[in-house]
Amino acid sequence: MNPLVSVVIPVYNAEHFLEQAIESILAQDYAPLEIIAVNDGSTDASADILRTYAEYIRIIDQKNSGVASARNKGFAAARGEYISFLDNDDIFLPRKISAQVEYLEKHPDIHMCVPLCEGFLENGVQKPGWVRDGFLDVMHRNLSPSAWLIRKQLFSYVGAFDPQYSIASDTDWVARVLKAGYEIGTVEQLLWKKRVHQKNASHILSLSERANYNRELLSLIVKKAK
């Protein structure tokens, strides 16, 4: 029997994309799957959308505490041997989970792997200035959380997401994985797509939020140098 995989979706005001994200999990060719959605105090229709999928997903509600807290709560509730994350605006392709599980089962010394990614523009959105060449419609390696499949014990080795980072908690977590000496394997297949829209969390337009993000990245660089 295949090992159980838990897919955690942190959800905050995701009404425009959430249904497509959930459907991409339900379309996986892998079983068994456990889907956990952590509603991080959404004020739009996200909670209503989640309830329409209550037959398939476990819903955890919390007051708005940030994506790091939501991912931590989802991980704490997960029962799977493997953990996957899906940001609520991204999409899994149908073989995403099965190909990654197959990779980790064949490489017992590797605790985490990512497949190839392709960025795509949301309909009606002009290409933002931050989008670099080779991101849209081109397969590439991307270390965003939607790429990850992780052996659950890796969290006990490197710890949970750090809530002090409002945006860069995933970058901090990957940095700790690499600093601890764990290899991140690559599945050389296109298995997920990252949506580009006007409110991507790490490319927000507010100057104050951009300054905060830059401070978080600087903090990570200083921490890594110590």
- What pLDDT shows up at residue 201? 47
Residue 198 has pLDDT above 90, yes or no: no
Total-model pTM: 0.86
Strand 140-141, strand 112-121: pairing:
antiparallel
Ramachandran angles phi, psi of 7, nearest 5°: -110, 120
Residue 57 corresponds to which tokens in the numbers above? 């997903």
- What are the distances in angstroms from CA 37 to CA 1, 40, 221? 25, 9, 31
The residues that bridge with 92 in the sheet, in sequence order, are 192
Region for residue 41 given its phi and psi (left: phi exceeds 0; alpha: psi -120 to 50; beta: otherwise): left
DSSP 120: E
Indicate the range of 43-47, 180-184, 199-203 predicted with least confidence. 199-203
Residue 225 has pLDDT above 50, yes or no: no
Amino acid letter, 10: P
Mean pLDDT across 127-145: 74
DSSP 15: T
- Cα gap 206→221, rounded to integer Å: 23
Higher pLDDT, 167 or 37: 37
DSSP 94: T
- 3-state DSSP call for residue 27? coil
Residue 208 has pLDDT above 90, yes or no: no
- What pLDDT shows up at residue 120? 81
Ramachandran angles phi, psi of 93, nearest 5°: -85, 160
CB 24 within 8 A of CB 95: no
Question: By C-alpha distance, which of 152, 153, 116 is closest to 135?
Answer: 116
Domains and CATH numbers, the chain: 5-225 (3.90.550.10)
Residue 220 has pLDDT above 90, yes or no: no
- What pLDDT shows up at residue 136? 72
